[in-house]
Structure 1
């Protein structure tokens, strides 16, 4: 009689132990296979997204739309009371009640020399309001920043800011903005970690000069820009793309108060003439991942704007050895997270 016949209890325990070990091995393989499949699915899903990140408020459907088109409009994102605050601040700047060192105040070329335009009617744009604590609040609005994270990640810099007061066109069509790519103005990369948030401060339509975009153009290259040959005059640094297919599909972005469009810096866009009797206001900020790095743009398609912007900066500040990147270092400001490179 062998050992097994003498110890039926031992046999049962042995078989139970072996069975349990086999089940654990099978379960391990099932779990490993399941985890591997999920990892493959996640990697596959992430490979579909080049221009957006999984953080932030964008749904997968919204991310897919942006990936394809290079822009996404979020309706009623900014509250009217916030826009009223920024409008009042803009009016105070126009009236001279507020003066912020380094902030740029601009006039349209058609009214720049007018003796009759004053106050809000004389100013068509203010730039670099990162230097003003009140207007900078726009850049830090939580409702906007949560979407910005989808493009930049958690470390966010405000790089370029504008409050645009597009004037009624006097017949010269100088109130329009030529088709262009914002990256043309920026000496920092990578391009896909930069985004603009552009908010309508009132109802904006084709009548008062809404934005026009070329969907999908963000997947192309940075094109050569320069001043367009317009008889009515062109505003300073309003460079436009020199050559493009005029038959390319365009989309006009008509927006209600508080609607905000987020768009890629390579997206070709511009705005039409304001044919309405009133001024058209919008406020915007270009954001970038603070880990972006400055690059040299000399002898590139950005050489023209680099020299022009740097010359203006040197004249304004008296810093004779200033470089193009210095123009951006002074006016950029941390919104959230850690300031790494910019």
Structure 2
């Protein structure tokens, strides 16, 4: 029994370290009943895609009942209040619901294919979806997870540490071309090297921080992992934020001049661009390998620089990342500019 439990725990932990998976989850409304109409999928437990792309969440029928409907629902993260129905279809026509609207349709590659096709993916599309065959008393379903490939970054108010309520954290991430990260997104970022001592809000209203290297200034001798404060009051408590972003349609470029903040705005404008948002510079660092040693202004008044290949003459930083100089005086300090178009 103990060896079985250890194997199961190892399997669960290992799954977080995979970018894709070869195992599929399924769920019947009656868990003791074998699937009759829907095929238990054998591949793509987790479909991975990037923002702006098109993706297919597979769902296949073994054979077609005489009368049926197919209902696709987004089940996690849970929506507020009503069920988050994405699409309902009978044998011939689709009816679209919710925020996905015309971006959601059935693939219908053949007469037994009721896979969900999502176009122009958004950050909020990340999560688990249920494909449900509705056929009277024989309803059954399978579940698939869509993971938007991206990057998690800690974000702090220009007023200082621990200034955001939950709703202010949501707004701050949105202003930086991002969303509040989910726990799974933060966990994955931790496995990829994110180590941060300041606690921040996540999308479920909990407060956490990821620690790879325990140290006295970061929780003392506690083990490495995701340290959690649990759910906090969304309007009374104040923390930083962990934001999540993905690919962008544009790109970030650098203007190597000595500029104050207003001059940096004008310099970007002359190039038909605007000062980059924090999420955009993280996206360009992650997906376009943006690498510069030079500090540059961003739209929020912060100064940062992205490093892919750490080197001795670049601040002595040992690991890749986007480094911050904080929020210096906009009129007195001179830096380059990171622009986005």
Tell me which interval the TM-score lies in, with the shorter structure as reference length: under 0.3
Q: Which has the higher helix share?
A: 1
* TM-score scaled by length of structure 2: 0.27
Q: Which has the higher strand share?
A: 2
* TM-score scaled by length of structure 1: 0.27
Structure scoring higher RCO (CA < 8 A, sep ≥ 6) equals 1
When Rg is computed on C-alpha atoms for both structures, the one with the higher figure is 1
